[in-house]
Structure formats: C-alpha cells, structure tokens
Chain A
Amino acid sequence: MSSLLKKNWWKVITVILLVYTIIGGLLFEVPRLAILNETIRALFFHVPMWFGMLILLTISVVYSIKYLRAPSQMVDNYAIEFANTGIVFGVLGILTGSLWANFTWGTFWTSDPKLNGAAIAMLIYFAYLILRNSLDDEQQRAKISAIYNVFAFATLIPLLFILPRLTDSLHPGNGGNPGFNSYDLDSKLRLVFYPAVIGWALFGVWLASLRLRARVINQKINEKIEEQYNQPSESHTGLPAGHSV
C-alpha cells in the first residue's frame, strides 16, 4: 500500500475523473423527472460520498486489525488518517444529502434508515476520536483505539441489516420507490455516475495519503526536537544547548 500511495499515475486519473465529473455532472443532459428536476445532478456529488466513506472506514479497520497483530506506529498512522478522511466524507455526505432532501422531500432530516445509519456511524467515529484524545501514552492510545475501532465496526454491520426493517426508506430502491435503474434507462446518468464514484473514492485515498505524510513529517520533527533536548543531558536541565537558565 505504501509504495502505491507514492505513485503518481492514480492521482492523474483522479484529477481527470473529477474534472470530468464536475463538467459532465453540471452540463450533460439528465433525465427530466418530476420533483427531482435538475437536483438529480446531486447524485454525482452526494452518493459517491457514501461509497468513499465506507471504503475509507473499511481501510481504517483493516489497519486497526493489522495493528493488533503486529503493533507499529506507521500502521496506527494509517488507521487514524483513513478514519479522519472517512469522517470528512461522512459529514459531507450528510450535508449534501440533507440539502438535497430539503428540495425533494421537503425536509432536512427524516427517520430514514440510511440517514440514521450514517448518523450512528458518525457518532461512533467521533467517539473514536475522543477516545484517542483522552489517552496520553502513545502505544496505549494506538492499541485501545484499534480495539474500539474493530469492536464498533463489528456492531455497525448488523445495524445496516436491522435499520431497513424498522422504517421504510425514501431512498431509491427501498420501500416501494423505484431504484436507479428505472431513472437512467438511457444510461446517461451512469456515464457520469460510475466515474464519479471511482474519482471521489480515489480522491479520499489521496487526501488520506497527504494527511499521512504530514503526520509522519510531524512525528519526525518531534523526534528531532526530542533528540536535541536530550543531547546535552549531562547538564541535567533537559533544555537545548545554549539555553542558559
């Protein structure tokens, strides 16, 4: 994974796909449907957020499991940064979705299984961040948050099967609503939708890899500073050389 993250070819693909998504998503012809009208274009920006979030959070859990098997700081860095980026995608998904819902369903929030599932996933990952911040020791922080990450993900999966049983969904394909297939019979939507999903998911991975690099650089700087502080340890002050007390 780490060698793949440093390659450039997939970043080029990401840029091409996203430019295509934005231009095509806003300008191409879309099916004329009642209620939805032009808002159907939100499909290219809202739905890929969920795919992106799920992919990023899954990667994060995989790295948490890896951490439990063989602890190392680098693996923990992966787990936290992919979770962070996943959270950004989740929040964006909720915001774009509730904006879209306001124009089509007439309300920002309803008791819809997909909305509730997303909200609960966000609660879990915010709790994950708070858990990390409330642990001081670095190794313990990495280990305990990895345990919570795996535990929470394992309980989130049954939830995705339970919620749809409780209330009907207003989302396409649920509760008597037509699925996507009936919208895009001319497959014009699909022409932009699939590239959009891949593009946004790759964009998420790219974002995570940038944050990862920033984090590693920070850690290296901190190590350097610590070394400098520790070098004149004969003076027993713990302050950098040249700093007289």
Chain B
Amino acid sequence: MLWKEIKLLVRKEIVLEWRQRYAFNSILLYVVSAVFVCFLSFNLQRGALNVVTWNALFWIIMLFAAINAIAKSFTQEQYGRQIYYYTISSPQGIILSKMLYNVGLMLILAFTCLSVYTLVMGNDIQHWGLFMVNLFLGAIGFSSSLTMVSGIASKTNNSSTLMAILGFPIIIPMLLMVIRVSKNAIDGLDISVSYDDLIILVAINVIVATVSYILFPYLWRS
C-alpha cells in the first residue's frame, strides 16, 4: 500500500519536473558553472591540483549543488496543492517519495558534476568501483538529510538561507565520511581498507532516514 503510494508520488514528481524543466536545467547549469568558476579561480593547467584539494573541492561543489537542488522540494508547490496532498496521502509516503526522487536528482547531478570536473581538471581515480559506490551512498545521504531540512526550512520566511545554516552542521558527519572514502578510492587503496567507513556511512544514512521517517508526520501536520 505504502509502496504503491510512493511509486505514484515519485512519478508525480518526475512529471512535474519534466513539465517545468527550467528548475532542473538551472541546477545542472549551476553545477557546470560552479566547476568552471573553480577551474578559473585556481588558474589551473589540467590535472595540476593535488589529490586532497581535488577531492575536497569536488565534494564542496556537490554539497552546494545539493543544498540548492533540494531546497525547492517543498517550496516549489503552492500551499493549496500541499493541503490537497495532505488529504489524500500519508506523510510517510510523501517524505519517502521526496527522498527517493531527490536521490535520483542527486545521482544525475553527481554524474554531470564528475564529468565536467574531469573534463576541465582531470582525475586520478584509481578505484572506480569504490568511487561509484561512495558517490551513490553520498547521494542517498545528502538527499535523505537535506529533504527533511528543506521541509523544516520551507515553513519559515527566509527559507533559502535557513536551508543552508540548518543543513551544514547536520551534513558534516556524512560529508567527512564521504570525503574520506573518496580519498581512498582516488589513491587506489584496496576496498577492504574502506569497509569500516562504508559501514558507518550506511549506518548514518539509516539513522537519518529513520529519524526523518518518524519526525516528518509531526512537521506535516503543522
């Protein structure tokens, strides 16, 4: 029952996004320009960044793109339509469908970002499998924690700034783990080195998703 509801709601999100493509396109352009601005600011030759900087810069661009992309999950639709959803669906369905949709959005963003980033700055990733798994877990983590934050921020008057200040401290544990695993992947360390960190990453994702699942009904009702 819940599963069916989620499928329908995710489809609704995709259809809505497809009808007004400007939001999606603008966030893609945001990522591309952010990468290019960084490239120009560092005044780089291709592949001239050292690994630590390359890695941190990539994830910081991803973080800002994620905050901007997910901030609109609850503000995009009008108040009246939200009340309509309130009457026809369960809060759990809403939050899980938004999270799932945002995971997809984050994955598209991540791949766009990675390809443009590689194009202008080059990359030295040696363990692609680990890097991809990490990218996937990062997308899930970013979307699950920021979706809830965007729900909270959307209730206020200055939601865009608030989205950032509420989101940053919450996302730090995830960001630190993702950066750490990503560094291991670039250095080509064996995957067994990163097992612990991957497990912690999964655990954080589970905690954040569960807490959002429990808390969202209270937020939705207000």
Identify B169's interface contact among A152, A158, A162, CB under 8 A. Answer: A152
Q: In whole Å, how far is B204's beta carbon from the nearest beta carbon of chain A?
A: 5
Interface pair B166/A162, CB less than 8 Å apart:
no
Name the residue of chain B whose CB is nearest to the CB of A125.
B169
A151 touches B211 (CB 8 A): yes
Q: Residue B27 at the A interface, CB < 8 A? A: no
Q: Which residues of A contact B207 (CB under 8 A)?
A: 154-155, 157-158
Q: A154 with B169: in contact, given A135-B155, A147-B218 (CB under 8 Å)?
A: no
Residues A144 and B155 in contact in the complex (CB < 8 Å), given A134-B162, A166-B180: yes
Q: Mark A103-124, 1 if CB is under 8 A from B, else 0.
A: 0000000000000000010011
Say yes or no: B222 contacts A124, CB within 8 Å.
no
Residues of A in contact (CB 8 Å), total 30
Known interface pairs A154-B211, A155-B145; A144-B166 also in contact (CB < 8 Å): no
Of all chain A residues, which has the CB nearest B153?
Answer: A131
Listed residue (B152, B173, B215) with the most chain A CB atoms within 10 angstroms of its CB? B173
Interface size class of B (residues with CB under 8 A): 20 to 34
User: With A and B bound together, what is the CA distance between A174 and B149 in angstroms?
Assistant: 34
The reply to whether A148 and B152 contact each other, CB–CB distance below 8 Å, is: yes
Given contacts A135-B155, A140-B222, contact A150 B211 (CB under 8 A): yes
Instruction: Confirm or deny: A130 has a beta carbon within 8 angstroms of a beta carbon on chain B.
Output: yes
CB distance from A93 to the nearest CB of B (A): 17
Distance to closest chain B CB from A188 (angstroms): 38
Query: Which residues of A have CB within 8 Å of B148?
Result: 151
**B76 on interface, CB distance cutoff 8 Å:** no
A159 at the interface (CB under 8 A from B): yes
Give the one of B156, B169, B172, B177 with max A CB within 10 A.
B169
Residues of A within 8 A of B165 (CB): 123, 126-127, 130
Q: What is the CB-to-nearest-CB distance from B138 to chain A, in angstroms, rounded to a whole number?
A: 15
Is A171 positioned at the interface, with any CB of B under 8 Å from its CB?
A: no
Q: Determine how close the nearest CB of chain B comes to the CB of A154; give it in whole angstroms.
A: 4
In the assembled complex, the Cα of A166 lies from the Cα of B212 at a distance in Å of 27
Pick the contact of A155: B152, B180, B208, B222 (CB < 8 A).
Answer: B208
Contact with B along A6-24 (1 / 0, CB 8 A): 0000000000000000000
A68 contacts the other chain (Cβ, under 8 Å)?
A: yes
> Is A190 interfacial (CB-CB < 8 Å)?
no
The answer to whether A120 and B204 touch across the interface, beta carbons within 8 angstroms, is no
Closest Cβ neighbor of B155 among chain A residues: A144
CB nearest to B172 among chain A residues: A120
Number of A-B contacts (CB under 8 A): 83
For the complex, what is the distance from the CA of A162 to the CA of B208, rounded to whole Å? 15
Bound Cα distance A152, B208 (Å): 9
- Contact B157 A151, beta carbon cutoff 8 Å: no
Task: Report B101 CB to chain A, min CB distance, Å.
Answer: 20
Assuming the A-B contacts A131-B162, A134-B156, A135-B156, are A162 and B211 also in contact, with contact meaning beta carbons closer than 8 angstroms in the complex? Answer: no
A152: chain B residues at CB < 8 Å are: 169-170
B158 at the interface (CB under 8 A from A): yes
The CA of A89 and the CA of B104, in the complex, are separated in Å by 42
Tell me the bound Cα distance from A163 to B175 in angstroms: 12
Least CB distance from B55 to A in Å reads: 14
- State in angstroms the CA–CA spacing of A157 and B204 once bound together: 10
Which B residues lie within 8 Å of A123 (CB)?
A: 165, 168-169
B219 close to A (CB within 8 Å): yes
Our pick among B166, B200, B218 for the contact of A131 (Cβ within 8 Å) is B166
Is residue A211 within 8 Å, beta carbon to beta carbon, of the partner chain?
no
Pair A144/B219 contact, Cβ less than 8 Å? yes
How distant is the Cα of A154 from the Cα of B173 in the complex, in angstroms?
Answer: 11
Chain B residues whose CB sits within 8 angstroms of the CB of A146 once the complex forms: 218
**In the bound complex, what is the Cα–Cα distance between A231 and B155 (angstroms)?**
33
9 additional contacts (CB under 8 A) given A154-B208, A157-B207, A162-B177: A68-B218, A124-B169, A131-B156, A134-B158, A140-B155, A140-B222, A144-B222, A147-B215, A148-B152
Point out residues on B near A: beta carbons under 8 Å.
145, 148-149, 152, 155-158, 162, 165-166, 168-170, 172-173, 176-177, 180, 200, 203-204, 207-208, 211-212, 215, 218-219, 222
Which 3 interchain pairs have the tightest Cβ spacing?
A: A123-B169, A159-B173, A124-B169
**Chain A residues within 8 Å of B, Cβ to Cβ:** 68, 120, 123-124, 126-127, 130-131, 134-136, 139-140, 143-144, 146-148, 150-152, 154-155, 157-159, 161-163, 166
